[in-house]
Amino acid sequence: MVRALYPGTFDPVTNGHLDITIRAARLFDEVIVAVYDAPPKQLLFSTEERVALYRAAIAERGLTNVSVISYRGLTVRTAAELGCQVVVRGIRALGDFLYEADMAITNRTLAPEIELVFLMTLLEYSYISSSRVKELAALGEQVEAYVPPAVAAAMAARLGRH
């Protein structure tokens, strides 16, 4: 029984994050999506909203071995507390790799028993980020191609574009 934690800010969840989630759900018995409570970023959605939007996306895709929680503090501590042997992260491009490699060394030092697994994001999602999608939505562009339907609706409502 291998349980994996997939941590991130997810402000909001995109189709790229969902792709990583779906593939992790095939690889591992159980996947826990962990929404980080207080990242050093300006957020559009509250922690509760980010969790709810991810849960809606999971339900829409019918993923039965994926759950969504929020957390504070160190990611590897949360993984250990939840009995996760693995932490999954998606990698889009070389920039992500350099950032992740740096963070992985810290995480490895903090919790050597937890394995870090990196999945390459599909090419069609390799240029998506939550910030880019928010920028497009704020400028009135359609974002349905990049995010789940509930997220597109929530962004339109939040940005005043019904």
Which residues participate in catalysis according to the annotation? Answer: 17, 41, 92, 130
Exactly one of 4, 5, 6, 11 binds ligand COA (CB under 6 A); that residue is 11
Site for ligand COA in 60-99 (CB under 6 A): 74-75, 90, 92, 99
Contact 26, 65 (CB under 8 A): no
Q: SS3 breakdown of the chain: % helix, strand, coil, rounded to 5?
A: 45, 20, 35
**Interface pattern 99-118 for ligand COA (x via CB under 6 A):** x---x--xx-----------
Told to check if 131 binds ligand COA by CB under 6 A, we report yes
Place of tokens 């291998």: 2
Q: How many CB atoms lie within 10 A of CB 151?
A: 27
Smallest distance, ligand COA to C-beta of residue 123, A: 11
- Residues 54-68 as b or e (16 or more Cβ within 10 Å = b): bbbbbeeeebeebeb
**In which region does residue 153 sit, left (phi positive, over 0), alpha (psi from -120 to 50) or beta (all else)?**
alpha
The piece of 9-17, 24-32, 54-62, 136-144 that touches ligand COA (CB under 6 A) is: 9-17
Q: 50 has which bridge partners?
A: none
Smallest distance, ligand COA to C-beta of residue 66, A: 15
Instruction: Name the site residues for ligand COA (rule: CB under 6 A).
Output: 7-9, 11, 14, 16-17, 20, 36, 39, 41, 74-75, 90, 92, 99, 103, 106-107, 121, 125, 128-131
